[in-house]
Amino acid sequence: MRVGIGYDVHRLIEGRKLIIGGVEIPFGKGLSGHSDADVLSHAIADALLGAAALGNIGVHFPNDDPALKNISSLALLKRVNDLLYKNKWQIVNIDSTVSIERPKIASQIDLMRKNLADTLGVSPDRVSVKATTGEGLGFIGGGDGAAAYAVALLKSTGDGS
């Protein structure tokens, strides 16, 4: 068994769609980034890669690669899952938290869990997504950005690696 932790943060800006957990959330701003800037998918990808000791998403998907411009982060997460399979790792569970002041996202959590689980080929009961605010403090509380944290547990499907 291996545990990994992931963290991601992006600034909220005008003129972008807000995508979290593969769900487009109606809001006047979106997250800034090279891909669709889905903080939740990015944090989960880093947790999975970390648990498998395979680096991080910046190593596998550099933000200066034109082929990745505006790509769905679920597509990147699928590629991470393919790397896990190739390296004989299986997802046991994922626990994650999204921190954003506005908009409220609690009503979208079940769909986020389904999207993430479908992408990773696991049942939704293996993917936990929680939401919190910044309580008016810092860049999150001030409505300037969003962050996500994730922990992943993997088990080996191979020769004891």
Is residue 42 included in any domain, yes or no? yes
Q: How many domains does the chain have?
A: 1
pLDDT-derived band at 159 (thresholds 50, 70, 90) equals: low
Q: Express the helix, strand and coil content of the chain in percent, nearest 5 each.
A: 35, 30, 35
> Is a pLDDT exceeding 80 seen at residue 35?
yes
DSSP state of 32: -
| Within a domain: 136 | yes
Range of the structural domain that residue 55 is part of: 2-156
**Inside any domain, residue 161:** no
DSSP letter, residue 153: E
- The percentage of the chain sitting over the pLDDT mark of 90, rounded to a whole number, equals 96
103-158 pLDDT, tens digit per residue, is 999 999 999 999 999 999 999 999 999 999 999 999 999 999 999 999 999 999 98
Q: What is the pTM of this model?
A: 0.96
Report the CATH number that the domain containing residue 51 is assigned in CATH.
3.30.1330.50
Domain annotation covers residue 13? yes
Give every CB contact of residue 83 below 8 A, 6+ residues apart in sequence.
49, 52, 54, 60
CA 153 to CA 93: how far, in whole Å?
5
